[in-house]
């Protein structure tokens, strides 16, 4: 879920790591799939504030974290000063020495140039290297997206593609892109993961402020609170229960080998 890979996006790194720790908590299972070996060279694409980068390093790998957000990278370097981090565009980066593996958790749905990202991942891997990733897939936060589209339309605002910051492919769509680049896809699945949000009643508004505020860019500042309230009202019967909000996540998990 990592918006830091999207150009022209400003991130609050402290808020991210304080209130949205589920992003990397869920990534622990993906690290098991990666199964990093001692001395392996691993690239963490969309590393955020570095928690998963650190976990990979703890398993003995030599890991480098990259992220499009300077604030995220600054926080990651502060959190883990012994690890290597650098700012890079997820759809336009290069490496000097190929890696044994590229790992990416909750980041690739922020990169609309999926072919550019896949090309960079391919070039970053040695032959036989593996790509292990999880990110938002087809149907991810569909209730939230649909509510925004309805409310904006009802209030006379045009719903344009630019408002949607995300790329949520199907298994087939993404597997085809990988195969066209020259990868062999060895595992691919799409699964539901309803995700509990913190801060009770304020949970959905805070989630939108953190991850979905581009939907409000077309709305004049004085009217945004009202639009947000209307979106919340539409979602309450679907995503709110027992004084807790849930985001309707669907995740795409992929493992591919560079042939």
Domains defined along the chain, listed by start: 3-139+166-198+248-258 (3.40.50.150)
What percentage of residues in the chain have a pLDDT greater than 70? 91
**Tens digits of residue pLDDT in 225-257:** 999 999 999 999 999 999 999 999 999 999 999
How far, rounded to the nearest angstrom, does the alpha carbon of residue 50 sit from its chain's CA centroid?
A: 14
Quote the pLDDT of residue 254: 98
Q: 110 and 140 in contact (C-beta within 8 Å)?
A: no
Residue stretches of the chain with pLDDT short of 50: 1-8, 11, 19
DSSP string, the chain: --GGGSTT----HHHHHHH-THHHHTHHHHHHHH-PPTT-EEEEET-TTSHHHHHHHHTT-EEEEEES-HHHHHHHHHH-TTSEEEE-BTTB---SS-EEEEEEES-GGG-S-HHHHHHHHHHHEEEEEEEEEEEE-TTTTHHHHHHHHHHHHHTT----GGG-------HHHHHHHHHHHTEEEEEEEEEEEEEEPSSGGGHHHHHIIIIIGGGGTTS-HHHHHHHHHHHHHHHHHHHEETTEEEEEEEEEEEEEEE-
Quote the pLDDT of residue 3: 37
Contacts of 10 (CB under 8 A, 6+ apart): 69, 71
Quote the pLDDT of residue 24: 61
């Amino acid at each position: 879920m990592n918006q830091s890979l999207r150009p022209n996006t400003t991130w609050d790194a402290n808020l991210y790591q304080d209130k949205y720790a589920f992003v990397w908590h869920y990534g622990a299972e993906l690290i098991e799939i990666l199964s990093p070996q001692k001395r392996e060279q691993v690239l963490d694409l969309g590393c955020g504030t570095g928690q998963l980068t650190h976990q990979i390093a703890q398993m003995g790998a030599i890991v480098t974290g990259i992220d499009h957000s300077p604030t995220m990278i600054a926080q990651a370097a502060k959190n883990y000063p012994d690890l290597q981090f650098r700012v890079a565009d997820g759809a336009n980066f290069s490496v000097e020495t190929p890696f044994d593996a590229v790992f990416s958790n909750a980041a690739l749905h922020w990169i609309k140039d999926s072919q550019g990202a896949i090309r960079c991942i391919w070039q970053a891997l040695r032959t036989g290297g593996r790509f292990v990733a999880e990110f938002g897939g087809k149907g991810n936060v569909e209730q939230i997206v649909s509510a925004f589209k309805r409310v904006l339309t009802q209030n006379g605002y045009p719903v344009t593609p630019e408002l949607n910051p995300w790329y949520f492919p199907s298994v087939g769509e993404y597997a085809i892109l990988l195969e066209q680049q020259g990868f062999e896809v060895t595992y691919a699945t799409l699964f539901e993961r309803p995700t509990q949000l913190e801060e009770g009643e304020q949970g959905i508004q805070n989630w939108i402020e953190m991850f979905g505020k581009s939907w409000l860019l077309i709305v004049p500042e004085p009217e945004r609170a009202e639009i947000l309230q209307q979106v919340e009202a539409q979602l309450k019967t679907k995503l709110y229960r027992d004084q807790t909000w849930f985001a309707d996540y669907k995740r795409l998990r992929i493992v591919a080998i560079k042939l």
